[in-house]
A = this chain, B = another copy of it.
Amino acid sequence: MKTSKQSIARLHSYREALYRLKYLGFVKVFSDNLADAIGATASQVRKDFSIFGLIGNKKGGYVIDELINKLDELLGKNQPQHIIVVGSGNIGKALMSYKGFGKVGIHVVAAFDTDEAKTNRAAEIPILPLGELKEFAKQRHIKVGVIAVPDTAAQQVLEMMISAGIKGVLNFAPIRLNCPEHFVLNNVNLGIELETVVYFVNALNRQAHDEKSKS
């Protein structure tokens, strides 16, 4: 089964779009509509669905409720997912208060920080000392964490998480982390995301100038 990161991301997008359509009162949907909704092609939609065994009706399109149920099952949305966040700086806080995680069944159950002045056990999402991570994660069977600490601390935090039984991490530290072979590591580098935008804008600009000087 083709389960690249990209195809899984698309399944999540389809699911989101389908909930929107359902909310608007639609009952059925064509591959064409879904493609528009997420910015893909109809071929891609049908291909994805074919790979994951999502079937529709020739001529009749797809029944939205059925699709949603199948996707919820495929994507593990039927049981809530408990995750933790390490680092309570701005990115950590952004993740802790991310609207929309609730809708997709993801719950941040605690955050951790080396700075014990930030400890707050009474908060809705408690902030705990980093030293308590291992015990907490083991006890609560946490499988997924977020690393939102400075890059100098990231590798150490990752190792702490691994030893606590965590199996996958979304990492915001702009540094290459070493992890075991089957560990799930997804890196988001905000700096590079922004730099690529700047690059392509400048490239466009250069192109425009070149065009002008040519004529």
Residues of A within 8 A of B (CB): 3, 5, 8-9, 12-13, 16, 37-39, 75-76, 81, 83, 89-91, 93-95, 97-101, 104, 106, 143-144, 146, 150, 167-170, 174, 176, 182, 184, 186, 188-205
Contacts and interface: CB of A to CB of B under 8 A. Distances in A.
Contacts of A191: 12, 98, 100-101, 104, 106
A199 B197 CA distance: 29
A186 to B, nearest CB: 5
A33 to B, nearest CB: 13
Given A38-B176, A174-B100, A94 B201 contact: no
Given A184-B201, A203-B3, A106 B195 contact: yes
B83 A198 contact: yes
B197 A186 contact: yes
Given A94-B94, A150-B99, A168 B188 contact: no
A97 B5 CA distance: 30
Contacts of A144: 194, 197-198, 201
Contacts of A170: 193-194, 197
A160 to B, nearest CB: 17
Contacts of A91: 90-91, 94
A162 B106 CA distance: 34
